[in-house]
Every structure is written in C-alpha cells, then in structure tokens.
Amino acid sequence: MKVRLLVRYGELSTKGRNKKMFTQKLANNIKKALMNYPQVRVFPDYDFMYLDLNGVPQEEIIPLLKPIFGIQSFSPVYILEKKMEKVKEVVLDLVGKENPNGKTFKIATKRSDHEFVMDTNEINLFLGDAVLEAYPEIRVQLKQPDITVRVDVRRQHIMVSLQTIQGAGGLPVGTSGRVSLMLSGGIDSPVAAYLAMKRGMEVQCVHFASPPYTSPQALVKTKQLAAKVAIYGGSLQFFTVPFTEIQEEIKKAVPENYLMTVMRRMMLRITDQLREKNHGLAIANGESVGQVASQTLESMIAINDVTNTPIIRPVATMDKLDIIAIAQEIDTFELSIQPFEDCCTVFAPPSPKTKPKLEKAREYESRLNVEELVRRAVENTVVEEITPNYVAEEVENSVKMDDLF
C-alpha cells in the first residue's frame, strides 16, 4: 500500500496568473524542510500538491509540514489496488484508529472510473455496513459527522483518506519578497517576525548589540529566538550590529529625554542600509501603538523621518495579551522573558519623551557625525545563518553592568 500526502493550498488558490510561482516556491520550501528525507518526492499540481512518501512513515513527515506557510490543510491518502475486500480492510483499520465508539461517520465516495463494478451508492453501502458491523457503537450521520471516510475510485487505483490535518495557512515564505526585521530579545519582535513570514515575507534579522553593556548571553538569547522563528522559513540570516559607539556618542551629546528617539533614528538608518545592501524591500519591527513611550504615533513620526522605506509593523494594533498568546504558540515566550539586558534598556532614560518633536530630534541629532557613525556600524556588522537547530557556542561570562557605570 502506497501512502501519499495530499496538500491543499488555501489562499494560494486565488492567485490567478502568479499561481505557478507560488506553488513552485511552496514546493521548494517543502523540499527544504524535508531535506533529511530525499526519498520523499514532491509533485506540485495546479489545484493541490502531493508528496509520495516512498516508505517514510507519515508520522515523521507530518510535524515537518505543519509549520510551512502556504499549506491550508493536508491529508494522508492510501493508494490501494481496485479490490473492494482490500479497501474494506484498510477502511476498518483506519476507522478503528479514530476511537470510533460513540462517534458518527459517513462514507463519501467519488468515482471517475465509471466502468468500475460498483457505483458510488453501492460502495457507500458496502463500506458503511462493514463499519457498522465492526464497530457497533458508531452511528451514520451525513451532515458534519465526526469521521468522514473519503473513497476515490480512479482508473488505476482506489484512494482512501480519513484525516484532514490543519496546515499553517498564510503564503509561502519568499513569495512576498525580503524584509529586514529588527529583532530584539523581547516578546514582540519575534512575533512580528513570525507574522511577517506568514504573509510570505523572507525575514532577515537585524539585532543591535552594545557590548559590554549588553552581555554575550543576551545576544545568544536573541539568536535562539531567531532559531525558533527560523522553523517557519528553513533558516534565516542574522545581522549583529555593533551599537556601543553610537549609544555612547548619543549619550554624550543628546539630552536625556531625547536619547531614545535619537537612538531609534540611528537604528532605523542602519537597518535601512543593511536592507538595501541585501536587496530587501521593506523593514519590519515589533512596535505596538501605545505600548511604551517610544511607540506613540508622535514618536513614530519623529523616528520614521529618516527613511521612506515601507515599515511593516505586524503587531502595531494588537493587545499585549494577544501578542503573548502568539509568542506562546510559537514557543518564543519563555525565552523572551528571560531577564537579559537589551541595548535600549541599558540606555533608557528614566523619563523618555512620549511626544517627541521631530524638529528637536533633528536638532539634537545634528550634534553627531551621523553619516560616519552609521557607515562604521554597517561596515562592522556581522552576519550569520541561523537554522532551527542553532546551538549557542560557549559564551564567556559578561562584564557586570554595575561595574561600568
């Protein structure tokens, strides 16, 4: 008996002329996720895709398909010889695995081979009776039964399927272009990364580190967060920007209540240059309107001023609790709440301006050699490929923050 997985596209099926590009990309993403299973063959078709498992147990493949964006649902399909006794045996076995007692079921037969010895009604009755006989506490119910046994009589074989497994939805990663996502060690930006990927964006992470004020462990934690979201795209690039010099310069030259605004302007400039160098189309971040002082609309005006590049803010309108729910679902929450310092918290003034003025931000910033600072930070940025299996190297103990001030 051969087993296939039938993959359904969902939103992809509305893509019209671009559909081929989308299905090809999805097929490639699936192949990438199944890299360790070269015997599995992927066949993209117009309305669905199927995977020939070639002997690999479906239990090993199913978990790998679940996080792949662009898959609406998928079903294991059993390919059988056209012998009804054999079909009956398989159906009874599959229904038996669903704890059938007390449940409802129906048999739904389709027949494209009109010369087959039984018609759809006869098949429904034959298999239905067999199920009722084998499992006395199951009932037939045609509308929304607990178990639907799909039987498809084709020219060459009969296909049987029972389960429909929910996929991740969304669009295949890469079909919407590339973005530079500003990844901190917090709760919001990993969720933003996940949501951007769900809409088909390929994400490159940009992280600002200020050693020795921020520790190597804080950097490792952020890479671990990147590894968690890398599951949804196979792997991703992680850029570590050296931000110490810029923060020290800002601290020297800018009044306390504008530190945050000027710092964010610098971050955005650097991210934009990295984006351009790496052929990204937009920037993404984890800003949520009203959450903290730097995330008021006035603040966005004062920060956003440095670029015309579109900024995607996937969690902009979400409540914190809703963001946390997603963080828990994608397993980033526990990592995010580990108490490591972030470059923002280290330099966070006691009272940042909640309504900074654009003119003032520009004026204070003009005290810095912006171009040169940005150039150096970009030049010294380190890039690394993060896969879902990322394991941190040993990190030395960090300098204590208290020793530095």
Chain positions contacting ligand ATP, by CB under 6 A: 182-184, 186-189, 206-208, 285-287, 291-292, 294-295, 342-344
Toward Mg ion, which CB reaches closer, 184 or 215? 184
CB of 182 to Mg ion, least distance (A): 10
Structure tokens given for 265? 């302007």
Cβ-based nearer residue to ligand ATP, 72 or 273: 273
* Sign (positive or negative) of CA dihedral 64, 279, 240, 321: negative
Q: With respect to ligand ATP, which residue has the nearer C-beta, 149 or 182?
A: 182
Given a contact cutoff of 8 angstroms between Cβ atoms, the answer to whether 266 and 373 are in contact is yes
Instruction: Name residue 324's amino acid.
Output: I
- Asked whether 364 and 255 are in contact (CB, 8 A), the reply is yes
Q: Is 217 annotated as a binding residue?
A: no
State yes or no: residue 190 binds Mg ion (CB under 5 A). Answer: no
Contact partner, 207, from ligand ATP, Mg ion, none, Cβ < 5-8 Å per class: ligand ATP
Please report which helix (H) or strand (E) contains residue 362, including its range: helix 358-365
For residue 291, the partner it binds in ligand ATP, Mg ion, none, with Cβ less than 5 to 8 A by kind, is ligand ATP
Query: Would you say 164 and 129 are in contact if contact means Cβ atoms under 8 Å apart?
Result: no
Terminal alpha carbon distance of the chain: 70
183 binds, among ligand ATP, Mg ion, none (CB under 5 to 8 A by kind): ligand ATP
Query: Quick one: how far is CA 347 from the chain centroid?
Result: 31
Q: How far is the CB of 121 from ligand ATP (least distance, A)?
A: 58
- Which one of ligand ATP, Mg ion, none is in contact with 365 (Cβ closer than 5 to 8 A by kind)? none
Provide the minimum distance between the beta carbon of 104 and Mg ion in the complex, in angstroms, as a whole number.
50
* CA dihedral over 391, 396, 400, 403, signed as positive or negative: negative
Question: Minimum distance from CB of 186 to ligand ATP (Å)?
Answer: 2
Q: Shortest Cβ distance from residue 284 to ligand ATP (Å)?
A: 8
Is 182 among the annotated ligand-binding positions? Answer: yes
Q: How many residues bind Mg ion (CB under 5 A)?
A: 2
Nearer to ligand ATP by C-beta: 161 or 214? Answer: 214
Is residue 186 close enough to count as binding Mg ion by CB under 5 A?
A: yes
Nearer Cβ to Mg ion (158/323): 323
Which residue in the shown chain puts its C-beta closest to ligand ATP? 186
- Is 214 in a helix, a strand, or coil? coil
CA 157 to chain centre: 37
Q: Which of 3, 1, 4 is nearest to 50 (CA)?
A: 4
Q: Which phi and psi (to 5°) does residue 34 adopt? A: -105, 25
6 beta partners = 50, 75
Which residues share a beta bridge with 383?
239
Question: At 287, which amino acid appears?
Answer: E
Which residue numbers belong to the known binding site for ATP?
A: 182-183, 207-208, 264, 286, 295
Which residue numbers belong to the known binding site?
A: 182-183, 207-208, 264, 286, 295
